Amino acid sequence: MIYLDHAATGAVSPAALSAYLEVAQNHWGNPSSIHAFGYEAKRYLDKARKTVLEVLGLSRTHDCYFLSGASEANNLAIKGAAASFKSRGRKILYGAGEHPSVINSVLSLAKEGFEPASIPLIGGAPDPDALKLNKEGAILACLMAVNNETGAVSDLDAFYSFRLANPKCLLLIDATQAIGKLPLSYRQADLISFSGHKIGALKGSGALLVKKGLRLTPLIDGGEQESGVRAGTVNVAGAYCLAMALKESHSDLKSNLAKTQRLYDLLHQGLRAMDGLVKIHDHPRQSPYVICFSTLHHKASVIVEGLSNKGIMVSSVSACSSKKENTSYVLEAEGAGKEEAANPIRVSFGKGSSEEDVRGLLAALGQLFNEVKKI
């Protein structure tokens, strides 16, 4: 089996899993309880929070709230900020290639009188100049660090300059595909979202990091957990596992990045050699963890299925939208033609990916392009 769909999810890291078990089995109290078991659980929760902020260099500037994943983090950031800051204005900016948890959260606010404004992509990432053109009345800009379908990396410095010049417009960075992979700084973002399962922690864990002093309106009515921002008994073991996985991914971030760049280059070279059969969607700023290409003469979904039958897992558009339809709105937004957008294949690497995986994929693709009927 060759698994090359790490942008969808990955295996839990053994060290993070044993951290989970340690807390779940031995320190399982409710961190809100005022007795020794509660204090013990709270100690682990505090350590998890401190670790996340330290690893990302955000201890002085941000608070960390644990929740169920990036989808919840994006919902809370967007709906919570809109409710808290509606007196400032009504416009909410979002990149045309954002994850559905961002786009649908923003669009849902239109019913309440907010004005969603889509920012076009340039080089596969939200165009900083278009942000400036749309700044009037904007209270929030929702922009991703790395696109989950294409690996296009955003110009975060340009977003931070925009944020500085427009103090009424908060900045949410969806860092889900960047955290633990690329050495980016998030200090100047107001809100940062990510999921645990993309970095070796468990599904159902994630975090929203919030600039100190910024008060979001909570989505869930309930108790005062997570300083009242996210009610519900905290998943302490999940949060601790997330923190340990994040720490681990940062400890070997640079060497993994260099290794992954070699895999990206090898695959890129192999795909280029498949003369006229695929179109690679690469970008001026590119994460080597994701490579997206379109099949030009075959149905991508048939090739993806054929690969799966040969024991090779890749994705045709992202797992989040692949059930509905196969056309990639991200590729459409970055200017790909209709046929190309309808036939995308995404290959995404993880820590354990190897040259052998890439060679296996290329060989299987070569076979399938010969076997499968052309469109």
Q: Which residues bind ligand PMP (CB under 6 A)?
A: 69-71, 99, 101, 144, 148, 174, 176-177, 195, 197, 318, 320
Q: How many residues does the chain have?
A: 375
Name the token pair of 340: 């190309």
Q: Is 45 exposed, middle or buried (0-12, 13-18, 19+ CB in 10 A)?
A: buried
Name the token pair of 229: 């921002």
Q: Is 359 exposed, middle or buried (0-12, 13-18, 19+ CB in 10 A)?
A: middle
How many helices (H) and strands (E) the chain has is answered by 12, 14
Task: Provide, rounded to whole angstroms, the least separation between the CB of residue 117 and ligand PMP.
Answer: 20
Residue 320 a catalytic site member: yes
Which residue, 69 or 350, is less far from ligand PMP as judged by CB?
Answer: 69
Task: Provide, rounded to whole angstroms, the least separation between the CB of residue 71 and ligand PMP.
Answer: 3
Which residue, 158 or 320, is less far from ligand PMP as judged by CB?
Answer: 320
The active-site residue out of 64, 169, 292, 320 is 320
Neighbour tally for 356: CB within 10 Å: 9
Please answer whether residues 180 and 246 qualify as being in contact, where contact means their C-beta atoms are separated by less than 8 angstroms.
Answer: yes
Which residue, 41 or 239, is less far from ligand PMP as judged by CB?
Answer: 239
Instruction: Please give the Cα distance from 150 to 14 (Å, whole number).
Output: 29
Task: Provide, rounded to whole angstroms, the least separation between the CB of residue 185 and ligand PMP.
Answer: 18
DSSP 221-265: -S--GGGGTS-S---HHHHHHHHHHHHHHHHTHHHHHHHHHHHHH
Which residue, 30 or 322, is less far from ligand PMP as judged by CB?
Answer: 322
Instruction: Please give the Cα distance from 332 to 343 (Å, whole number).
Output: 11
One-letter identity of residue 135:
K
Task: Provide, rounded to whole angstroms, the least separation between the CB of residue 206 and ligand PMP.
Answer: 6
Task: Provide, rounded to whole angstroms, the least separation between the CB of residue 97 and ligand PMP.
Answer: 9
Which residue, 70 or 229, is less far from ligand PMP as judged by CB?
Answer: 70
Q: What positions carry a catalytic annotation?
A: 320
